[in-house]
Structure 1
């Protein structure tokens, strides 16, 4: 947050995450998801289908 006006607090625009950090965060999330899918006894095709099915339900940026 920043405060550059006298009328209150203004939320600063979101800073982009560095590409390497984004890739690392994606790898961590994917590893956790893959492990959960395997524990459920499902295969890679089911995992990908699950992500595809939910993708359109995510809020847009």
Structure 2
């Protein structure tokens, strides 16, 4: 049996339900989905890819 995914939203998202949700996966990775369309699937990230993404956010790598 597959382990259920427990989705969560940031407390900063407010009540408009227009953000992304994230879930921790059993293998250490993360899953991300659109909170407005949760049945449309999700993106899966390995633990290493997620760590690289978080590091990029912290260092403004994605700043325009």
Q: Is the shorter-chain TM-score for this pair beyond 0.5, marking a shared fold?
A: no
Which structure has more relative contact order (CA 8 Å, sep 6+)? It is 2
| Structure with a larger share of its residues in strand | 2
Give the TM-score, by structure 1 length.
Answer: 0.32
Give the TM-score, by structure 2 length.
Answer: 0.31
